[in-house]
Amino acid sequence: MRRVVVVGASLAAVHAIDGLFEQGYQGEITLVGAERHLPYDRPPLSKDALHHGPEADKVLLRTPEWYAERGVELRLGRRASGLDPRARTVALDDATTLTYDGLVIATGSVPRTITAAGDGAVHVLRTIDDAVALHERLRPGRHLVVVGAGFIGLEVAATARSLGLEVSVVELAPTPLTRVLGDEVGQWFRGHQEAHGVRMHCGSVLDELDSGPGGAKLRLQDGTVLSADLIVAGVGVTPATDWLTTSGLQLSDGVLCDESLRTSAPGVVAAGDVTRWYNPLFDEQMRIEQWTNAVEQGRHAAMTLLGGGESYAPVPYFWSDQFDAKMRFVGRANAAEHVHLERLDDTSMVALFGRDGVLCGALCVNAIRRLAVYRKAILDQVPWGDVVGS
């Protein structure tokens, strides 16, 4: 293999490049990125970087010298527009074409948004440019409405509240994080946000949104009207696969891969948010939008591209910081048959999730000492009764 193209200037992409060199690869590498920036870290964008104002050099994953020393050719500000797996070529939006022996797809995801009659007030938060635009408008005394109570929405709400804004959150589900962690855990996060002054409107349908230069009005289906100076849409993301629709690759809410991260095309692997693969540990096809997964998956994809055949079967891990709550989670909570609240008070929580007779997930808020124990129990597929009984 002499030429590898990595599409997507993401966390997974950088670690795929790292992995290639660690495996002894000595050929050419071209990194294609739709943004003009070098690859950067995204988790700070909803927290510290949003609070203080993002500075590109402080969130870069690697310095410019790192790429130069390794001979990585950078095609930044260029979007991939098509893939021909038979010819082994990637088309870019500037009408140029790149050939490859091996291809890493690491294009991540794009945020969904909400439409409004008018202009100006609705923001999303995915890129550093999004964070700059939003930070400039976060001023004490203003009213921010966050639509969507997922992790990004709740982190933005916490950051804005700490800056002195009035904050309201509108969520269709009965509690925050219901789709990820269930109602019982979601209710704790609702109470935590409300204890810090965030007004939560859960189980609320957004009926109408009008925005303009002076702000916006949101009408909920129950008749509630919220006046906002600005709005953040935190209503999820979709995998960035539009450029692959005519490629013949198997796609289904992401790029479909086997347990080693191979796609349906020879010489093509995928890593990061865009990847849906089979995880044999959970016997499940999954797509994970998490920092640790992007790091590990990028390195594993590089190993597979160079001939490795091992399964990628991790115990997923992610975190979220909201006000003084430091949440850490291992495993999976979706389709859990049992939820056991081992510890619950105003400032901390431990919740365990069981499925198919074994422990499948564990959540620790301000109580992380047992996280490693639960991770090992998930990896070892310890029976649910043994964990809860202990």
Decide if pLDDT at 305 tops 80: yes
Average pLDDT along the chain: 95
Contact predicate 156/48, CB 8 Å: no
Structure tokens at 26: 């000595």
Q: In which order are the strands placed within the sheet that holds 255-257?
A: 255-257, 275-279, 284-286
Q: Would you state the CATH architecture of domain 324-389?
A: 2-Layer Sandwich (3.30)
pLDDT tens digits, 45-63: 999 999 999 988 899 999 9
Residues 6+ apart with CB under 8 A from 369: none
Mean pLDDT along residues 295-314: 97
pLDDT for the residue numbered 368: 86
pLDDT for the residue numbered 385: 94
Provide the pLDDT confidence category of residue 338 given band limits of 50, 70 and 90: very high
Closest CA to 38 of 18, 63, 58: 63
Task: Count the alpha carbons within 13 Å of 210 in the hemisphere toward its beta carbon.
Answer: 5
Residue at 187: amino acid letter: Q
pLDDT for the residue numbered 116: 62
Which residues are registered as beta bridge partners of 284?
279
With 0.85 as the threshold, say if the pTM is over it: yes
CATH fold of 3-110+238-305:
FAD/NAD(P)-binding domain (3.50.50)
Structure tokens at 273: 């948010």
pLDDT for the residue numbered 118: 53
Mean pLDDT along residues 5-28: 97
Closest CA to 84 of 241, 238, 245: 245
Give start and end residues of each alpha helix (H) in the chain.
11-22, 48-52, 56-59, 64-69, 128-135, 151-162, 178-181, 183-195, 291-305, 371-379, 384-389
Decide if pLDDT at 318 tops 80: yes
More confident residue, 300 or 214: 300
pLDDT tens digits, 196-254: 999 999 999 999 998 877 789 999 999 999 999 999 999 999 999 999 999 999 999 99
Same fold, 3-110+238-305 and 113-233: yes
The structural domains of the chain, with segments of one domain joined by +, span 3-110+238-305, 113-233, 324-389
Q: What is the sign of the dihedral through the CA atoms of 66, 70, 76 and 79?
A: negative
Map tokens 């993002």 to a residue.
54
Map tokens 């349906």 to a residue.
264
Residue at 335: amino acid letter: A
Contact predicate 14/112, CB 8 Å: no
CATH fold of 113-233:
FAD/NAD(P)-binding domain (3.50.50)
DSSP SS3 for 227: strand
Furthest CA-CA distance within the chain:
63
Mean pLDDT along residues 164-174: 97
**CA torsion 253→259→263→267, rounded to 10°?**
150
pLDDT tens digits, 73-124: 999 999 999 999 999 999 999 999 999 999 999 999 999 988 765 555 789 9
Q: How far apart are CA 358 and CA 338, in angstroms?
A: 10
pLDDT tens digits, 118-151: 555 789 999 999 999 999 999 999 999 999 999 9
Contact predicate 107/243, CB 8 Å: yes
